[in-house]
Amino acid sequence: MAYWYNVSTGRVEEDGSTDPKGELMGPYDTQEQAQAALATAQQKTEQWDKEDRAWEQDGR
């Protein structure tokens, strides 16, 4: 079973019962991972931004 985080409602939805109009993030293996979707996305974005800055400074 897959889980999705619905950005529109702020709720976790199970595969097969997702809101067709929702803005979904996922799929995730667990409800806990889906619930943490926004925090995970923020962490990844911050890491990528850090890597981009390093690449721009070092030229690699």
C-alpha–C-alpha distance, residues 28 and 50, integer Å: 25
Instruction: Map tokens 């199970």 to a residue.
Output: 14
DSSP three-state, residue 16 = coil
User: How many domains, the chain?
Assistant: 1
| Structure-model confidence comparison of residues 58 and 14, the more confident one | 14
Helix ranges (DSSP H) in the chain: 31-35, 37-58
Domain interval for residue 38: 3-58
Instruction: Give the contacts of 27 (CB within 8 A, at least 6 positions apart).
Output: 2, 3, 4, 15
Confidence tier at 20 by pLDDT (50, 70, 90): confident
Please give the mean pLDDT across all residues of the chain: 92
